[in-house]
Structure 1
Amino acid sequence: MKVKQHIKAVVLAAALATSATVASAQDKEPIRFGLCFDLSKSYTFISPQVAQAAQDLAMYTNENGGIEGHPVEIIVRDHGNEPQRGVECYEQLKREGVFIFNMLSTPVTNAVLPRAMRDGNILMQSFVGRGDAVDGEVFEWVFPVGPTYWQQAANDVAFIKEQMGGDLSDAKIGFIYLDYPFGQEPIEILKTLSEKEGFELELYPVPLPGSDQAGAWSKIRRDKPDYVISWLLAGGHVVASKEMRRNRFPIDRYLSVNWLNEVDIANIGAEEAKGILRGTNVAGGQEVPLVKTMLDTYYANGKGSGPESLVRDVYYNTGMAIYSAGFEAARIAITENGWPITPETMKNAFESIENFDGNGIMAPVTVTDKDHGGGGKTRVEQWNGETWVPLTDWSADYLDVVWDVIKHSSATFTVE
């Protein structure tokens, strides 16, 4: 069976080649992606899956002719979620000729961003980082392809509004969050929407690492919010589930950020987690064509880039979404401007991505020179005890409100 029958995503369809082309791809200069990730400290429950997905996608692409004949090289380094180490990783890879980067951490991304802007290098920032970075007129070299935390939070509010009959004027929404940059990101947009829709917003900060939530949930019990939007991570959701039981808060009114995965559900208990909600920016499961192809091609034969258990995790799908878009941009860059790829041609290529969904791995994105996010669509899913069930279609809501906040914030940005 031909590759094209397995994968219809443009970047991989373009990789279909004869064995001679495959061989020639290995002789050409590579397209290099620098992954400076936290592999040792705070994000070890996310980063390995994303890195493994990138490596698998590169391996598959290279074995099928590369991108327009050029192999893809994935360079993975550890920054331990420490901004200074992230900066050092960026500088080291830059000296080695890399100009396409991803930090997969809000604090590290924020530290590196001014340097990437000054240097004119590509900073991929999908699903992390500052919400105003989608403004391509200000953040010319930053590409948060997919929904930012601001847009995801806005979409969550729209879902709650729909559940409450289209009127939030008498509603109370709680926001429980890790009290550091990742968790704090949505607060501004939530406050703006609170003023617009008239709902009461209650904030419940939780200190790192998220294990001490007793005080927050005691307050939630007293405040009785209609829904709680959660910006917690990993074990934080497990702790929250125990506190919900203790404080008799219904789990089907707990709407998590996208960082809630199969491991978290297992740790909560599949039956105990029944009803929990999450906003998501990628399609989960192993029947998604890209993921199924990796399982059938590599993991069924013991040849994957890491353990198969990490493939059966929505964060692997997240990595596929990020790098299918990155590879598509590289394909466009070569097709439109030839070799070598430069930061400028890669920038223009990202801004030419149109209605791309990686063959169903994520909501369709159309990136422009003004919108580097691609539209900001998410959907809400609910755990039914066995699997995640979509409750909504992919959508982006309150775009006018979100973009007003984006423009107000981005206007204050200066490259230090």
Structure 2
Amino acid sequence: MKRALLSTLSGVALLLGASAASAQQAPVKFGLCYDLSKAYTFVTPQIVQAAKDYAEILNAKGGLEGSPIEIVVQDHGNEPQRGIECYEKLKREGVMIFDTLSTPVSRAVLPRAMADGNIMLQSFVGRGDAIDGDVFKWVFPIGPTYWGQMANNIQYIKNQHKGNLKGVKIGFIYPDYAFGQEPIPILKTLAEKEGFELNLFPNPMPGRDQAAVWTQIRRINPDWMITWNLSAMHVVAAREMKRNGIPMDKLISVNWINEVDIANIGAAEAKGMKRGTNVVGGQDHALIKQIVAELYDKGKGNGDRKNLQDVYYNTGLAIFSVAFEGVRNGLKAGRPLTPAKIKTGLEKLHNFDANDLMAPVTVTEKDHGGGGKTRIDMWDGAKWVPQSDWISAYNDVVWEVIKKESAEFAKTNK
């Protein structure tokens, strides 16, 4: 009897010891060097909130393979130098995986992360050629890039013209800096391939005075307009379109337009507008319902509850579903966790749909984008309605441009 009791106590002690050891694992730190004060404040609070909420849900279940998640957030004000300073500071604090949520900052930080062998996330932002895993070994733009999204927009327009784009006029209005300029190589390549007439309309930052540009657009009278606007720029563009008699149903927006923008434009005024969509919107998702039940209904959420109705919150959940799953895969290879193990873990993502928030991605050593797909949604006056399936178009063209651009990067960054 005593021997059985001792055996039982020993078993309990082992279990308690394992539990204690798990609880004592060093946290995995995720570095969010974000613009929290200037250009991107329309989106960063929701994404930070989503990251913290999901981390809290996972930590309550033991974290990632027993390691707690720590979300470390610092402002860079969309300034490349401050982004570099944030990266260097968090690197000293033990962060191995970073996100900047800014194309200019991402371009500035990327060479350092590459040289250090640290992981840089770039979901939905940054340079399109970074999906080339042969060159950008430590960079992961998982999901659709701006290049992929633009190619899919052109495919949608082509479908509306029964497969023939010859002579079709397509205009592109964009803020004249890195984010806005990013899709131009793909647009130019596709214009040459498909024979459509491409008109580029750069607009100076901060993009609040678009009158002259839309007057030019009216004179050209394009069949379609693609906009790469952000936040209040959408409202200005909608007002100028109306003033110039350009129908809203000619417009396809970049993914960065949310419910707040629609409200500011006016739900009725925005009717017919389309957007390239990276993630599913709305709250009818198992993960969001779980977050509401386990956090917000108990007063434990990491921000304003109304943000859960915003597509940018869903975007944050998608980005960090990918990041957390990649690190989980890396930890399965054993401790200590290293950037190399995180890299391998991200490259093991197969048909991963980020908790059903985006089209499934499969990441490999060579393809760090995962074949990310987008779809076209239309605002019907009350809600966004899908107008296409999830698609990934012109992959041969996109990869040809990727290889050309990444080869140039490799030449100058040996």
Q: For the superposition of Structure 1 and Structure 2, which TM-score range results when normalised by the shorter chain?
A: over 0.9
Contact kept, 8 Å, 2:191 with 2:198, in 1: the verdict is yes
Identity %: 61
Aligned match of 1:386: 382
Contact kept, 8 Å, 1:21 with 1:69, in 2: the verdict is no
2:291 is matched by which residue type in structure 1? M
Q: Work out the CA distance in 2 between the residues paired with 1:22 and 1:278.
A: 48
Q: Work out the CA distance in 2 between the residues paired with 1:346 and 1:279.
A: 30
Which aligned pairs between 1:212-251 and structure 2 lie closer than 5 A?
A: 212-251=209-248
Please list every run of 5 or more consecutive structure 2 residues that lacks an aligned counterpart in the other structure: 1-14
Aligned match of 1:128: 125
Contact kept, 8 Å, 1:118 with 1:415, in 2: the verdict is no
Please list every run of 5 or more consecutive structure 1 residues that lacks an aligned counterpart in the other structure: 1-17
Aligned match of 2:83: 86
Which aligned pairs between 1:35-114 and structure 2 lie closer than 5 A?
A: 35-114=32-111
**Pairwise CA distance, 1:103:** 0.6
Whether 2:327 is the aligned partner of 1:330: answer yes
Q: Work out the CA distance in 2 between the residues paired with 1:19 and 1:287.
A: 39
Give every structure 1 segment of 4 or more consecutive aligned residues whose post-TM-superposition deviation is greater than 3 Å: 18-26
Q: Work out the CA distance in 2 between the residues paired with 1:34 and 1:406.
A: 27
Whether 2:268 is the aligned partner of 1:271: answer yes
Q: Work out the CA distance in 1 between the residues paired with 2:256 and 2:269.
A: 18
3-state SS, counterpart of residue 198 of structure 2: strand
Q: Given the superposition, is the C-alpha separation of residues 22 and 380 from structure 1 closer, same or farther in structure 2, using an over 3 Å criterion?
A: farther
The size of the alignment, in residue pairs, is 398
**Pairwise CA distance, 1:194:** 0.1
Larger radius of gyration: 2
**Pairwise CA distance, 1:19:** 11
**Pairwise CA distance, 1:197:** 0.2
3-state SS, counterpart of residue 330 of structure 1: helix
**Pairwise CA distance, 1:26:** 3.6
TM-score for both structures, normalised by structure 2: 0.94
Whether 2:315 is the aligned partner of 1:312: answer no
Q: Work out the CA distance in 2 between the residues paired with 1:67 and 1:94.
A: 20
Aligned match of 2:342: 346
Residue deviations 1:279-298 (CA, integer Å, cap 9, x gap): 01111111122222212221
CA RMSD of aligned residues (A): 1.5
3-state SS, counterpart of residue 278 of structure 1: strand
Aligned match of 1:144: 141
2:338 is matched by which residue type in structure 1? T
Q: Work out the CA distance in 2 between the residues paired with 1:232 and 1:69.
A: 42
Contact kept, 8 Å, 2:170 with 2:225, in 1: the verdict is yes
3-state SS, counterpart of residue 311 of structure 1: helix
Q: Given the superposition, is the C-alpha separation of residues 204 and 24 from structure 1 closer, same or farther in structure 2, using an over 3 Å criterion?
A: same
Residue deviations 1:198-241 (CA, integer Å, cap 9, x gap): 00000111111111111111111110111101101010010011
Contact kept, 8 Å, 2:360 with 2:372, in 1: the verdict is no
2:395 is matched by which residue type in structure 1? L
**Pairwise CA distance, 1:301:** 2.1
1:33 to 30, 33, 48: 30
Q: Work out the CA distance in 2 between the residues paired with 1:395 and 1:21.
A: 46
Residue deviations 1:325-381 (CA, integer Å, cap 9, x gap): 01110111112x111210101111111100000221111000001110010210000
1:384 is matched by which residue type in structure 2? D
Q: Work out the CA distance in 1 between the residues paired with 2:140 and 2:16.
A: 34
Q: Work out the CA distance in 1 between the residues paired with 2:323 and 2:397.
A: 28
**Pairwise CA distance, 1:300:** 2.0
Q: Work out the CA distance in 2 between the residues paired with 1:260 and 1:22.
A: 45
Q: Work out the CA distance in 2 between the residues paired with 1:21 and 1:157.
A: 55
